[in-house]
């Protein structure tokens, strides 16, 4: 599973997954019962307070944990990894590798022009997930692909730094410090929220 993750994830995301993998090794699993094809487990990490409940559905290999790490970050938690190991599943099902964290995520960057019901068109870029108004159409390449240097900087300048709000009369937010986040994972000190 670790080799599989190393081949799929970007280095930063793989490091987060590797830490979860290490915690799964230090975890204890308790069976809470079965109902049809569903099995319930309680997983506790050694030297950490609390425990989490994991439901495994053997019919489609779906797994859900009460910690909701996958839903919030897009990376499976140590609790799910423990249950998969207990069930002798040695590879993470591909649906649990979010596209945004894969090494090949950049190659999937495409822009699409959609025509709305009122006849107006809207352009969206899939990997940026940016609606058309934030795209600088003057810097589009001939094949309708964005010139990433200009369009991304335009998105950052207008959409993410609040220029759009300032232009609409909203006051800037004071005292907010910009920091890099991956989902709910803070890169500066490596703690989860």
Q: Assign 179 a pLDDT band (cuts: 50, 70, 90).
A: very low
DSSP 58: T
pLDDT, tens digit (0-9, with 9 covering 90-100), for 28-69: 999 999 999 999 999 999 988 899 999 999 999 999 999 999
At a CB cut-off of 8 Å and minimum separation 6, what does 141 contact?
A: 147
Lookup: tokens for 60: 């489609």
Give the integer Cα–Cα distance in Å for 114 and 39. 43
- What's phi and psi for 96, nearest 5 deg? -95, 5
Residues 6+ apart with CB under 8 A from 46: 26, 27, 28
Q: Tell me the mean pLDDT in the region 9-16.
A: 90
């Amino acid at each position: 599973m670790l080799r599989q993750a190393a081949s799929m994830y970007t280095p930063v995301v793989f490091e987060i997954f590797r830490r979860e993998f290490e915690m799964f090794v230090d975890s204890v699993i308790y069976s809470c019962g079965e109902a049809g094809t569903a099995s319930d487990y309680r997983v506790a990490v050694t030297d950490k307070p609390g425990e989490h409940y994991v439901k495994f559905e053997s019919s489609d290999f779906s797994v859900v944990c009460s910690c909701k790490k996958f839903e919030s970050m897009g990376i499976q938690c140590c609790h799910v990894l423990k249950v998969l190991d207990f069930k002798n599943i040695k590879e993470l099902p591909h649906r649990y590798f979010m596209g945004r964290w894969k090494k090949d995520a950049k190659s999937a960057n495409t822009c699409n022009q959609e025509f709305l019901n009122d006849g107006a068109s809207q352009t969206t870029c899939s990997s940026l997930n940016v609606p058309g108004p934030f795209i600088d159409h003057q810097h589009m390449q001939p094949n309708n692909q964005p010139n990433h240097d200009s369009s991304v900087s335009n998105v950052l300048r207008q959409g993410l730094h609040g220029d759009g709000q300032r232009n609409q009369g909203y006051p800037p937010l004071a005292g907010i410090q910009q920091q890099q986040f991956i989902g709910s994972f803070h890169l500066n000190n490596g703690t989860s929220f």
